[in-house]
Structure formats: C-alpha cells, structure tokens
Structure 1
Amino acid sequence: MALSNDNLKGVTLALLSSGFIGASFIIKKKGLRKAAAASGVRAGVGGFSYLLEPLWWVGMITMILGEVANFVAYAFAPAVLVTPLGALSIIVSAVLAHFILKERLHALGILGYVMCIAGSLIIVVHAPQEREITSVREIWHMATHPAFLLYVASVVVLVFVLIFRFAPCYGQSNVLIYTGICSLMGSLSVMSVKALGTSLKLTFEGTNQLVYPETWFFMLVVVTCVLTQMNYLNKALDTFNTAIVSPIYYVMFTTFTILASVIMFKDWDGQSIGSVTSEICGFIVVLSGTILLHITKDHDKNPSRGGYTQISPSLTARLNGEMLKHIEDGEMSSNGEVVVNFKRPDSY
C-alpha cells in the first residue's frame, strides 16, 4: 500500500523524533549520574538535584525536540503508525549506551535491531490512512465514547494503585512499576497530543479551533500526563540500567498507546483483515526485537538487589591484613589454598 503524503510526513517526523529521544536517554542518564555523585541523593530515591545539572537539561532539551517532532507527526499520521516507529529510539540509545555509558552490547543484540527495523517497515507498509477530521469537537465525541471512557477510568485507577501502593514498596526493585506508570499515562498523553496537534493543524489551515474549550482541555491533559511521565521516567533511568528501561518502556508504552488509539480513533475500521493481521505481526516482530535487546544486555549491579556491595577502604585494609597474617603463618589447606578464619570486624 502506497503511503499518502500525510503518512509520509508523519513517518519522516517519527523517525527524526526517535533519533532525538534515543540520544536524550543517554544524555539524561549521564546527567543523573553526575547529579547523584555531586549531591549524594539519587533521583530514584526522591532526589531532585538533577534539576541543577546542565547535562541533564541538555538531555531534556533533546527529548523536547524529539517530542515536538513526534507531536507534529501525530497530526499527520495515525498513532498505530507513528508510535511503533519509536523502536528506532531503542537502537539509538542501546548503541550510545554501549560506547558512552559502557553498558555492554552483545553481538546477538544486532538481531534485535534488525527485527525492530523489519517490524517497523511492515507496519509502515500496511498502516491505515489518517482519518479526516474537520473539528476538535469530532475528537471530543470520540474521547467521550463509553468504550474510551472505560479505558481512561481503568488507566487512572491502575496509575493510582501503582503510585500509592506498589511504588513505595517495589519501585526500587521492579522495573515494571515506574515504566508501567509512564506507559499508562503515556497512552493518554498521546491521545491528547493527537487531538491537540490536529486542532493546531486545523487552526493553521484557517479553521480556528482555539475558541473551543475542548482544545484547552486536551492541552491540560497533555501537560499533566507529560509531567507525570517525566518524573517516573527519571526514577526508572536512575534506578535501572538504560538497556532495561528503554525496551520495556517502549513495549509497554506502544502496546497501551495502540490499544487506546484503536478504541478512540478506531484506526482499524475499514481495513482488510490482511492489513490488520500484517500490522499485528509487524508489531509482534518489533516487540520480539526489543525483548531480544533486553535479554542480551548486562544488568547494573545494585546493592539493594543483590549485586556488588561496596566496602570501605578501612575495612578492605583490615581484611587484607588478616589474610596476609594467615599467609605468613603458613596456614594452608591440603590443596594449597589459604585458610582464613577471623572474626568479622565490629565496625565498618
């Protein structure tokens, strides 16, 4: 199926957006590390010192540029086409993480990249055409349909449960908590972004939509959702390896966004079964690629999750002294290993 002019513009902007957003993950991660090293309080445990770190703001500006490109892309193409193309941001962030953050990139990860690209191409080829909308009130009618209102209510309940029940207990040990909050809120922000972008597009074309309160309501929802996403995405990036956060966030965010778009905008209405099936298969290929990228990455060693534990220099010196003493005394086992038997120091 040939791409329409609007869909082509949407694809181009989505690819550009993915490049900026993928780079922003790495820049912000570097900024979070510098801020934590300077202040001693990480964003993952409630610190906000990163707001004073210039590098974090560079990453934030880069992400804003990507989001602006993404914002405009939604005004030209359906969400089921634009959102899956975010897979490119995973490729960009994984490659940059390998070289800049020294997070190991295994050879098998290349297959994951190929799968992400192949799946994205399948989605692009079989994507539905953008539905023609002449007023923001048409979008409001879609947003107040009972099926979508049920989805919104479910998302709000889940987000509140995750924030107030699970995040305090499991947020530091389970990556799905923070990314789940970001993804659920992200699906609502995308629907509002598409509504707002369409309104602005119609306004620039000569049909003023700013006179309608629905336009301003969608803007309020966008701001609320984006601020929530930013807060919990920072927590996720600071707590977990970038190579874990990026693909899991992409998979969950894309899944919820496509679900919300299908419910609200009915993107698949009028498409043949073959086209819908191809899109679903392409999406599955992309998800498989992101999962492959995830399992081929090394996890950060975090003391709170059973990784390496830091030992103070004074304790290290005392342990070394005990070991040297036993070596000098000739206390060896039958197989030649040193036998070290000492009491744990009373203080660290």
Structure 2
Amino acid sequence: MGVSPDNVHGLILAVSSSIFIGTSFIIKKKGLKKAGTKGVRAGSGGYTYLYEPLWWAGMISMIVGEIANFAAYAFAPAILVTPLGALSIIVSAVLAHFVLEEKLHIFGVLGCVLCMVGSTSIVLHAPQERQINSVKQVWHHATQPGFIIYTVVILVLVAVLIFRFVPRYGKTHLIVYVGICSLMGSLTVMSVKAMGIALKLTFSGTNQFKYYETWVFTLIVTVCCLFQINYLNKALDTFNTAVISPVYYVMFTIFTILASMIMFKDWESQNASQIVTELCGFITILSGTFLLHKTKDMGNEAAKELPVFQSPRASEAPSSPISGSHR
C-alpha cells in the first residue's frame, strides 16, 4: 500500500472518527439510562431518550465521527478505512470501564488487543483502490449482477431479523440488533463512498450533483442510517456497551469489506500472500471479539466479590450488617 497524501488524510480522518464514535457510545448509554428512569426504555420500544440532552450530546459526537468517517472514504479505500474502526472498541471499552462501571476483565483487554493486531494486519496489506473519476463509475459498479445479488440478500436477511427474530430474541441475543446495524451498514458505506467521491470531485471543479445517481446514493444513506440508529439504540439500552462495540465492529467490518470486494473487486490486484495475511487478520479480530464476549461478565463478578473501595485484607474480615458493595 503506497503512502500517498490522500491515504494520510484518510487515516487521520478515520482515527478521529473512531475516537468520536467510541466516546458517543458511552455518552448515549448514559443518556439512555437516564431517559429510562423517566419513561419507557428504548429496549422496550420507547423513545423517551429523544427528550434527553445527554443522549443528543452523544448523538452529536457520533455525527461528528461519522462525518470524519464519511470524509475518510473520499480519500482512502474502504478496506483501509473500515478496519480502523477497531480504535472505537478500545475507546468505548476503556470509558465504559471507568464511566459506566462496566468492568472489563483482563481477558477482555486481551480481546481488544487482538482486535487491534488483526486490524493492523489488514491495514498494512490493504489493496490499492481503483481510480474513480465520476459517480457514474460507482453506479456502474453498484448495478453489476454480483452487487445486486448481494444487496437483495442483505435486504432479505434484514427483513427476516426485524420481523421474525427481533420480537422473539431481540432482548436476549445481542446478535439480532447488531446484525441489523451491520448488514445495513455495509450498504451505507458503499453509498457513503459514492457521496464522498461526488463531493470531492465537485469541490475540485467537476459537479457531480447534476447526476441523478448522486441523489439515489444520498437517499440510500439516509434510509440506512435511520435503521442503524434505531436498532443501535435498542442494543445499547439492552446490552453491555463493552461487548456491543467489538461485536458491531467485527460484523460491520466483515460485511463492509465483503461488499467492497464484490462491488469494486478490490482483491483482483492482490497476490495469494496478501490475501492470506488479510484473512489471518480477520481471524485474529474474530478471536478477540469471541474472547471479549465470553468474558464480558467476569469483570463485574470480580467487582461484586471485591468492592472497589474495599482492600483485599478487609475482604477477609467477617461481614457486618452495614457492610456491602460500594456500587
């Protein structure tokens, strides 16, 4: 992967995006918890959080992060930008540990490290992006049979999740809400890529908004984002933030890179060694996420056994009627 000025700009924007998005998870979670005390929780279908300023602060942070991410796709290939979302896992997990008291076990920390190592492997071996000079070129890629089939499969899966699995397993299985966000997210990124290219070319003097294709991509981004926001709120209000972030990241990354591979045929210019290295990166990320998921409650259990303000020596003493957990 050549280090061009565009790639550097894309990397800086992607890292900034991850910091804002990782922080937004925490702020929105606090807003959702506060709103839940005043009305119906988001996880139960309520929308009280729309009246909570703290939730909107988190939403603004996420919007800023998404704008930075949006701009990054205009400069760098999706297969380079998307894996950098792993940084948001670290940000949200660390903040959740200190701000939300969702304790992260040492194996959870190891899971985060594995996610970062896998992402680095992917970034270092990312393929070169095809040169795009018009939104019409992106539209041509998007209307190829392969990507049309992919889009239909994604929409069918989302419909099945929403109408069949959400009522039954939405509140007990994290994968349902996060799956909807991730599947729709892959279509969002492809459309965001088109919009980013359109803006970049327009600012350079070639107006792309005279083409109807640009507005179609804009509509797709709007609809997909609304779906993602709605179901991400439900996931945040129902499950542990430190687990949502990595699971969402891994699923989103896999589907986004798969969509990019089908749409832009990114890996045609790569040799077997590069492809195998990227696959190893994916496996490393999946291993980290699995470890994080399996140990998600170990930190909280340890915290219950040994309260934060109680010393190990004090824990050996007999309990008294006024002693207890300092939560």
TM-score under structure 2 length normalisation: 0.89
Matches within 5 A, 1:285-296: 285-296=284-295
- List per-residue Cα deviations over 1:126-178 (Å, max 9, x = no partner): 11122211110000000000000000001111111111111112111111111
The alpha-carbon deviation at position 114 of structure 1 amounts to 2.3
Aligned-residue offset at 1:115: 1.8
Find the counterpart in structure 1 of residue 188 from structure 2.
Answer: 189
Match of 1:310 in 2: none
Q: Report the Cα distance in structure 2 between the residues aligned to 1:19 and 1:283, rounded to whole angstroms.
A: 22
Pairing 1:95-244 to 2, within 5 Å after superposition: 95-244=94-243
Q: Distance in 1 between matches of 2:298 and 2:162?
A: 24
Q: Secondary structure at the match of 2:253?
A: helix
Distance in structure 2 (CA, Å) of the matches to 1:165 and 1:286: 29
Look up the SS of the partner of 1:208 in the other structure.
Answer: coil
**What is the CA–CA distance in structure 2 between the aligned matches of 1:249 and 1:11, rounded to whole Å?**
21
Decide which structure has the larger Cα Rg and report it. Answer: 1
Question: Does the residue aligned with 1:192 lie in a helix, a strand or coil?
Answer: helix
Query: Which residue identity lines up with residue 32 of structure 1 in the other structure?
Result: L
Q: Which one-letter code corresponds to 2:32 in the other structure? A: L
- Indicate how the Cα distance of structure 1 residues 165 and 281 shifts in structure 2: closer, same or farther if over 3 A, else same: same
| 1:9–1:92 Cα change, 3 Å | same
Distance, in Å, in 2 between the alignment partners of 1:217 and 1:299 is 47
CA-CA distance at 1:3 after TM superposition: 2.2
Q: Would you identify which runs of 4 or more consecutive aligned residues in structure 1 move more than 6 Å?
A: none
- Runs of 5+ unmatched residues, structure 1: 302-348
Letter of the 1:4 partner, please give it.
S
Residue number in structure 2 paired with 1:31: 31
Three-state SS of the structure 1 residue aligned to 2:38 is: helix
Q: Percent identity?
A: 66
Over residues 44-103 of structure 1, what are the superposed CA-to-partner deviations in whole Å (9 max), with x where a residue is unaligned?
111000000000000000000110110011111111111111111011101000001101
Is the contact made by 1:4 and 1:129 (CA closer than 8 Å) also made in structure 2? no
Please tell me whether the aligned partners of residues 192 and 218 of structure 1 are also in contact (alpha carbons under 8 angstroms): yes
Deviation of residue 5 (structure 1)?
2.2
Quote the offset at 1:110 in angstroms: 2.6
Q: Is the 8 A contact 1:119 1:282 kept in 2?
A: yes
Shift of 1:299: 7.9
CA distance in 1, matches of 2:92, 2:207: 39
Partner secondary structure for residue 38 of structure 1: coil
C-alpha displacement of 1:108 = 2.1
Taking structure 1 as reference, are residues 18 and 175 closer, same or farther at Cα in structure 2, changes over 3 Å only? same
Cα distance in 1 between the residues matched to 2:129 and 2:5: 10
Give the superposition deviation at 1:272: 1.6
Provide TM-score, normalisation by structure 1.
0.83
Judged with a 3 Å threshold, the aligned counterparts in structure 2 of structure 1 residues 96 and 218 are, in CA distance, closer, same or farther, namely same
CA distance in 1, matches of 2:287, 2:25: 21
2:314 counterpart residue number: none
1:219-241: per-residue Cα shift (whole Å, max 9, x none)? 00000000000000000111111
Segments of 5+ residues of structure 2 without an aligned counterpart are: 301-327
CA RMSD of aligned residues (A): 1.5
Change (3 A) 1:113 1:177: closer
Deviation of the 1:300 alpha carbon: 11
Shift of 1:184: 0.6
Corresponding position of 1:316: none
Question: Aligned equivalents of 2:251 and 2:193: distance in 1?
Answer: 19
Q: How does 1:195-344 map to 2 (within 5 A)?
A: 195-298=194-297
Aligned residues: 300
Paired residues of 2:32 and 2:41 also in contact (CA < 8 A): yes
SS at match of 2:267: coil
8 Å CA contact retained: 2:43, 2:238: yes
Distance 1:279 1:44 in 2: 36
Q: Distance in 2 between matches of 1:274 and 1:204?
A: 38
C-alpha distance in 2 between matches for 1:168 and 1:139 = 37
* Paired letter, 1:292: L
